[in-house]
Amino acid sequence: MPILLEKDGILKCIFCNTQAEYRCAACGSAICEYHSRYGRIYGYNISKKNEYYCIGCWRVERNNIQKTKVSKISLISGLKKIGITTGDNILTQSSISCFGSIDQGPETIIDALQLSIGDSGTILMPAFTFSQNNFHFRATKVDAACGILPELLRRRAKSTRSNNHPLSFVATGKNAVFFINNAIKYETLDELSPIKRLIDKNGKLLMLGVEFNNCLPVIYADIIFSKNRQQSCGKKYYIVEDIAKNLQSYKELIIGEALCRVMNVGELVEAIIINLTQKPNLFNCYNNNCRKCMSHIKINRALFDNNKCKEL
Ligand SMILES: [Zn+2]
Ligand SMILES: [Zn+2]
Ligand SMILES: [Zn+2]
């Protein structure tokens, strides 16, 4: 759990002296949001979910990971073990530094993916451009926050990139044009976005070393459920891990040092919406300073007052 330090008085970040929000899980130092890194340091560190590390400890551990070597063959056999197969439509979210050092660089991951799904399969990745003002779908680089793979995929000759700034996607393979569909404009990741078309094609989510905090199908489910209110801030999305692990389609494997997981996107979204229906405040961070989540509570109270007999 993020440790809010209000009870202990105001603690200062050891790096910048602003108010600290978390404690490093490795060295125990107080750290601000900017100087913290979220998630597992190692892929196999499965018990330590939702932990924050200071930027210093994070870098030391990441350097250790670099000693692990990952080959194309181990990537292909790993992907096969978690059920990636010919003809799959895959949404990939990745943090490739989690793997260790990859033989011949990150392009190898895209090659391994393409070999695994063949010509009848499709790879879809987020190619967001929140940090860019002038957008051109051919020229504008993908934000670094999406990881390096989408940018590498965008530069490939056969890939297609959508014209939907800032929530653009890049795809390659059989259904690439169907997913991208430039004729349909969307402003959030709602039913008009490629996520919906991916669900219609029975698509899979492939998470390579990433956590659920920026998971696009989770954001999609939150938006679909939150129609009449604001979407959550996203800090609590990590609890989706428990939901995902109970899915029939869920599979996980450590490849190199990275925790890699696959699940059916439609099944995941459905399970999240069922959970949200039972507990509308599931994603609420309950931080008094969080405008998004606090507005939820108000709206839920108003709803509650209006239908007192109905439990929310
Ligand atoms: Zn700081
Ligand atoms: Zn630390
Ligand atoms: Zn919040």
Q: Please state, rounded to an integer, the average pLDDT across all residues of the chain.
A: 87
Q: Is 84 exposed, middle or buried (CB count within 10 Å of its CB: 0-12, 13-18, 19+)? A: buried
pLDDT digits (tens, 9 = 90+) for 93-128: 998 888 989 999 999 999 999 999 999 999 999 999
Alpha helices, H only, 138-259: 149-154, 176-180, 194-200, 216-225, 240-245
Q: In the listed set 65, 85, 101, which residue is the last one of a domain according to the structure? A: 65
Q: In the listed set 16, 38, 65, which residue is the last one of a domain according to the structure? A: 65
> Same domain for 37 and 138?
no
- Ligand located closest to 29 CA: 2
**Stretch (H or E) spanning 275:** helix 265-278
CB 160 within 8 A of CB 177: yes
Residue 233 in domain: yes
Q: How far is the CA of 35 from the centre of ligand 2 (A)?
A: 10
The b-or-e profile of 125-154 (16+ CB within 10 A means b, else e) is bbbbbeebeeeebeebebbeebbbbbbbbb
- Ligand located closest to 4 CA: 3
Q: How confident is the model at residue 87 (pLDDT cuts 50, 70, 90)?
A: very high
The Cα 277–Cα 258 span in angstroms is 33
CB 135 within 8 A of CB 129: yes
Of 17-21, 75-79, 268-272, minimum mean pLDDT range: 17-21
**Stretch (H or E) spanning 56:** helix 55-65
The Cα 89–Cα 222 span in angstroms is 22
> Same domain for 23 and 122?
no
Tokens of 264: 């059916």
Local structure of 283: helix, strand or coil: coil
Q: In the listed set 35, 50, 65, which residue is the last one of a domain according to the structure? A: 65
| Residues spanned by the domain of 53 | 6-65
> Same domain for 57 and 78?
no
Q: How far is the CA of 18 from the centre of ligand 3 (A)?
A: 20
> Same domain for 87 and 204?
yes
CB 209 within 8 A of CB 98: yes
Q: How far is the CA of 214 from the centre of ligand 2 (A)?
A: 23
Q: How far is the CA of 144 from the centre of ligand 3 (A)?
A: 24
Which residues are close to ligand 2, an ion, with C-beta < 5 A? 24, 26-27, 54, 57
Residue 300 in domain: no
* CA R_g for the chain: 20
Residue 301 in domain: no
| Per-residue model confidence (pLDDT) at position 121 | 98
Calculate mean pLDDT across residues 265-282. 95
Give the residue with greater pLDDT, 138 vs 71: 71
Q: How far is the CA of 99 from the centre of ligand 2 (A)?
A: 21
> Same domain for 77 and 145?
yes
pLDDT digits (tens, 9 = 90+) for 195-206: 999 999 999 999
Residue 298 in domain: no
| Per-residue model confidence (pLDDT) at position 91 | 98
> Same domain for 54 and 126?
no
> Same domain for 11 and 138?
no
CATH number at residue 46: 3.30.40
Q: How far is the CA of 73 from the centre of ligand 1 (A)?
A: 41
Q: How far is the CA of 296 from the centre of ligand 3 (A)?
A: 9
pTM over 0.95: no
Q: How far is the CA of 22 from the centre of ligand 1 (A)?
A: 10
Residue 274 in domain: yes
> Same domain for 57 and 158?
no
> Same domain for 144 and 227?
yes
Q: How far is the CA of 308 from the centre of ligand 2 (A)?
A: 48
Residue 190 in domain: yes
Q: How far is the CA of 55 from the centre of ligand 1 (A)?
A: 9
Q: How far is the CA of 34 from the centre of ligand 1 (A)?
A: 6
